[in-house]
Amino acid sequence: MNHAPIVARPLILLGAGGHAKVALSLALAAGWSVRGVCDPELARVGQREWRGLQVLGGDEAAAGLDPTQVGLLNGVGQTTGSAGPRRRLFDDLTQRGFRFPPLAHPGATVDPSALLDEGVQIMAGAIVQADCRIGRNTIINTRASVDHDCEVGAHVHIAPGATLCGAVRVGDGAFVGAGTTVVQGLRVGDGAFVTAGSLLTRNLDARQRWPAGERSQTAPEE
């Protein structure tokens, strides 16, 4: 994981959907300055302000900013088990030299021994216990619990109220649905999908679903 220090710069929010609202609240609660928002739909309809932020334009406006002067806040959500749009935005802009600081809400509990990579978002009421490792661009959402020695990969979403018991391994791009419990010591493979409200009691291979045979969620990504 990359643990290079990130200089505190004003942030620009990317996206203006439901997750963006929570990400904005997270950043402000954590004491960051957010100077504007980039969102294609707001730009398309000519909206100039959103939740008190100046609308700077669409994705092209973000790419045109100076990465030495601003940091970025990823407000694109992951609600369908596909990290695609959120991951592509993060990867494209980090390759252009932008930084996404890891953020933890002051109402979250994060053990000092936990390692948070770039772009991690720890939302209000979440718990991250001792010796956990959380990969880049990952969301630990509202009231989720990640117990000791868990390793969560990059571009993962641990949805609201989900529980990872001790020493769980979650692969890159996986999705653990709201209210789910993953039993201690298990492995959730890359791109795997665990449906909301599930109890996972066995390892889940890459790109597999639990429970098996469940239909995909179709809600659009924010």
Q: What's the pTM?
A: 0.92
Distance (Å, whole) CA 141 – CA 178: 9
Active site residues: 148
Architecture of domain 11-95: 3-Layer(aba) Sandwich (3.40)
Contacts of 4 (CB under 8 A, 6+ apart): none
What digits encode the pLDDT tens for the residues 50-100?
A: 999 999 999 899 989 999 999 999 999 986 656 688 999 999 999 999 999
Task: Identify the segments of the chain with pLDDT beneath 70.
Answer: 1-7, 79-83, 213-222
Q: What pLDDT score was predicted for residue 105? A: 98
Distance (Å, whole) CA 183 – CA 9: 39
Output the DSSP codes for 201-215. -S-B-TT-EESTTPP
Distance (Å, whole) CA 36 – CA 57: 9
